C-alpha cells in the first residue's frame, strides 16, 4: 500500500541521515585523537 511505501521512504531517509552522522562522528573522533597527540607532544616538550 501507499502507507507502507511512505514508511519505507522515511526509513531510507533516516538510514541515510544515520550513516552521515556516524561518518561525521568518526571524523570528529579522528580529529580529537590528532589533537590529543599534539597536546601530548607539547606537554612532553615542556617537561624536557
- pLDDT tens across the length of the chain (48 residues): 999 999 999 999 999 999 999 999 999 999 999 999 999 999 999 996
pTM of the model: 0.70
pLDDT of residue 41: 95
Domain ranges of the chain: 1-48
Distance CA 29, CA 16 (A): 20
Provide the b/e sequence for 6-37 (b: ≥16 CB within 10 Å): eeeeeeeeeeeeeeeeeeeeeeeeeeeeeeee
Task: Give which of 6, 23, 10, 46 is closest to 38, Cα–Cα.
Answer: 46
Amino acid at each position: 500500500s501507499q502507507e507502507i511505501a511512505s514508511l519505507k521512504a522515511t526509513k531510507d531517509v533516516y538510514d541515510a541521515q544515520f550513516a552521515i552522522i556516524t561518518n561525521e562522528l568518526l571524523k570528529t573522533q579522528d580529529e580529537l585523537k590528532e589533537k590529543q597527540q599534539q597536546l601530548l607532544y607539547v606537554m612532553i616538550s615542556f617537561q624536557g
